[in-house]
Chain A
Amino acid sequence: MSISDRSTTEVGRDRGSIPAGRADSARPAASQPGPMNETRRAHQRRNARRLNLFIALFAAPALIVYLTFVLLPVLLAAFYSFWKWNGLGPLTEFVGIENYARALSDPVFLGAVGHNLFFVIASLLVQGPIAIGAALLLNRPLRGRTVLRVAIFIPYVLSEVIAGVAWRLLLQPNGPFDSFLAAVGLGGLKQLWLADTNLVLWTVFAVVSWKYLGFAIILFLAGLQGVPEELSEAAQIDGASWWQTQRHITIPLLGPTIRIWAFLSIIGSLQLFDMVWIMTGGGPANATSTMATYMIQFGFQRSQFGFGSAVAVILFVVSFIFALIYQRFVLSRDIGGTMSRRVG
Chain B
Amino acid sequence: MKNRRSIMRTAAVTLAAGTLALTGCAGGGGGGGGGEGGGDVTLTWWHNGTQGVLKEYWQSVADAFEEENPGVKVEIQVTQNEELQRTKIPNALRSNNPPDLFQQWGGGEMAAQVEAGRLLDISDDVEEELDSIGGKAAGWQFEGQTYGLPYSMGIEGFWYNKAMFEQAGITTPPATMDELNDAVSKLKAAGITPIAVGAADKWPAAHYWYNFALRSCSQETLEQASAEFDFSDPCFEEAGEHLQSFIETEPFQEGFLATSAQQGAGSSAGMLANGQAAMELMGHWNPGVMAGLTESGEGLGENLGWFNFPGVEGGEGDPKAALGGGDGFSCSWQAPPECVDLLKFVVNVENQRAFAETQTGLPVAEGSEDAVTDPTMQTLLEGRDSAPYVQLWLDTTFGPTVGGAMNDAIANMFAGQAQPGDIVKAMTDAAATL
Contacts and interface: CB of A to CB of B under 8 A. Distances in A.
Interface of A: 68-70, 72-74, 76-77, 80, 84, 86-90, 102, 119, 123, 165, 168-169, 171-175, 192-197, 200, 208, 211-212, 215-216, 261, 264-265, 267-269, 271-274, 280-281, 283-287, 292, 295-305, 307-309, 312, 315-316, 319
A88 B118 contact: yes
A285 B417 contact: yes
How extensive is the interface on chain B, given as a class? 35 or more
A230 B393 CA distance: 72
Given A73-B16, A88-B93, A274-B7, 12 more contacts: A76-B16, A77-B8, A86-B112, A168-B258, A173-B266, A192-B257, A195-B255, A268-B3, A272-B1, A281-B200, A297-B408, A301-B404
Contact of B200 (A119, A212, A284): A284
B286 interface: no
Contacts of A102: 433
A284 B415 contact: yes
B253 interface: yes
Contact of B12 (A88, A90, A269, A312): A312
B11 A295 contact: yes
Interface string B394-434: 00000111001100100110110110000000000010010
A197 to B, nearest CB: 6
A73 B13 contact: yes
Given A268-B4, A303-B400, A303-B401, A88 B94 contact: yes
Contacts of B1: 119, 123, 208, 211-212, 265, 268-269, 272
A173 B401 contact: no
A74 B16 CA distance: 9
Contacts, number: 178
Given A76-B16, A264-B2, A284-B415, A271 B258 contact: no
A88 B19 contact: no
Contacts of B200: 194, 280-281, 283-284
Q: Is chain A's interface secondary structure helix, strand, loop, or mixed overall?
A: helix
A287 B415 CA distance: 10
Contacts of A212: 1-2
B256 A195 contact: yes
Contacts of B134: none
Interface in B175-225: 199-202
Contacts of B399: 303
Nearest to B114: A88
B29 interface: no
Given A69-B13, A174-B254, A285-B417, A315 B8 contact: yes
